[in-house]
Amino acid sequence: MGRFVACFFLATSLAALCGSHEASAQTSDTAKTGSGHGSAQASSNPEELFIAGETALRSGDLDRAEHAFRKIVAIDPQSAGAYANLGVIYMRRKQWDQALHMLRHAERLAPTIAGIRLNIGLAYYRQNDFRSAIAPFESVLRDQPDSSQARYLLGLGYFFDDRWAQAADTLEPLWRQQSYNFSYLYVLCIAAHKAQRKELDERALSRLVEVGGDTPEFHLIMARTHLNREEDDQAIVELERAEQQNPNLPFLHYYLGLYYLHQHDYDHAVEELKKDIEIKPDDAYAYDKLGETYALQQQDAEAEKQYRQALRLDPKLATSYLGLARIYNRLGRYQEALAAIDEEQKIDPEDYTTHLLRSLVLKGMGQREKAKAEFDIYNRMMNAAREKKGDEEIPNPGLTAEPE
């Protein structure tokens, strides 16, 4: 099959159940906090409030759960379990700052409870802040070396932080459990290859081919590889094979959209990206590419709308900020363009193209000396990047899905 397999990771088989990780950690935090019976509708009994809060949390009634746990911390400010559950509630709502505040407070009150630290790691992980997620996951694995969940998440954290040897070392012990898992094998294959672990690389690659077979996921791998190489004729063949086998395969229509975008067939690109959103409405990458497609058609209002939606779903999606900056520059909305560039540079300070765009914006504002300075930075960074640059890869929207 060759090395093409090592160019792609599709994590559709790792789709996480909503709240499953928080629930498991939260149970360990609170299981011994209270027991008893009876309604807590108007209760001031912490045990009854705990039962009511956990029942509401399990049923998805987050408002009622929050109310119960807020009453508990008002009565007992030392209740680590209540703070941990408030953290879980805010995680479910994707209110990350509030979640981390509550979880950190719970950690101070109960530093030995690994489940709290697991949720802290997940709160960072789900924001794509993988570097910050690593330390909490490491601490959980130190305390619970048999935790396959913590090991898998830590391995993925290392992987996304380009710490290849650590990723391979952390993930390899999961082989017995996960060697049937297409996505695990891919991550392990890439990490081992990058870490120059030849035996592990070859073993994972061989097993990956064996497990992949003639599956739609494997055809999608091949299609993405061809798209990366700009081999569009081969890519569409593989995409059509995947579609014949599973037309609702997650991210299939995303890559079909990219194919049509390469062909400058913007109408079909829009159609496919919208299909992807129908199947997976929280796919920020699809909105980002939809914004790019509309921008190429100079449908600026629609492009801005799609970029904004992408950023609501993933505030760290740098390409959406860059897309907004280009639109605002074209429309002469220079201050908004600069603000978008600032946000993009916070996320990806190594992206030299932002300096070129900032130069164009400043030139439009009549600030020629500043524009020249930015252009000089762009040239310097671009030349340095050329010396160490590898192959440019298209985005992979399935990469960060959590393991089950």
Tell me the CB-side half-sphere exposure of residue 10, using CA atoms within 13 A.
23
Tell me the pLDDT tens digit for each residue of 18-66.
Answer: 234 564 344 333 333 333 334 444 567 888 999 999 999 999 999 999 9
- Quick check: 97 pLDDT over 90? yes
Q: Specify whether the CB–CB gap between 27 and 43 falls below 8 A.
A: no
Tell me the pLDDT tens digit for each residue of 285-310.
Answer: 999 999 999 999 999 999 999 999 99
Q: Supply angle C-alpha 299, 300, 303, rounded to 5.
A: 90
Burial zone of 64 (CB within 10 Å; 0-12 exposed, 13-18 middle, 19+ buried): middle
> Domain 216-388 classified CATH 2.102.10.10?
no
- State the helix-helix crossing angle for 130-143 and 114-125, rounded to 10 degrees: 160
Nearest to 225 by CA among 399, 376, 394: 394
pLDDT on residue 37: 36
Tokens standing for residue 393: 């890869």
| Statement: the pTM of the whole predicted model exceeds 0.75 | no
Tell me the pLDDT tens digit for each residue of 308-366.
Answer: 999 999 888 999 999 999 999 999 999 999 999 999 999 889 899 999 999 999 999 99
pLDDT on residue 404: 62
3-state helix, strand, coil in the chain (%, to 5): 75, 0, 25
Strand blocks (E) in 341-398: none
- Quick check: 140 pLDDT over 90? yes
Q: How many CB atoms neighbour CB 322 within 10 A?
A: 24
Tell me the pLDDT tens digit for each residue of 207-258.
Answer: 988 888 788 988 987 788 788 778 899 999 999 999 999 999 989 999 999 9
Query: Which long-range contacts does 14-17 make (Cβ < 8 Å, 24+ apart)?
Result: 14/181, 14/183, 14/401, 14/402, 14/403, 14/404, 15/250, 15/401, 15/404, 16/401, 16/402, 16/403, 16/404, 17/404
pLDDT on residue 399: 57
Return the CATH superfamily for domain 3-33+79-212: Tetratricopeptide repeat domain (1.25.40.10)
pLDDT on residue 384: 83
Q: How far apart (Å, rounded) are the C-alpha atoms in residues 261 and 51?
A: 53
- Quick check: 10 pLDDT over 70? no
Tell me the pLDDT tens digit for each residue of 214-225.
Answer: 889 889 877 887
> Would you give the DSSP letter of residue 13?
G
Burial zone of 244 (CB within 10 Å; 0-12 exposed, 13-18 middle, 19+ buried): exposed
Q: Where in the chain are all domains bearing CATH 1.25.40.10?
A: 3-33+79-212, 216-388
* DSSP conformation letters of 22-72: HHHHHHHHHTTT----S--TT---HHHHHHHHHHHHHHT-HHHHHHHHHHH
Tell me the pLDDT tens digit for each residue of 168-199.
Answer: 999 999 999 999 988 888 889 889 988 999 99
pLDDT on residue 230: 86
Quickly state the pLDDT bin for 394 (edges 50, 70, 90).
low
Share of the chain above pLDDT 90, in %: 69
pLDDT on residue 18: 29
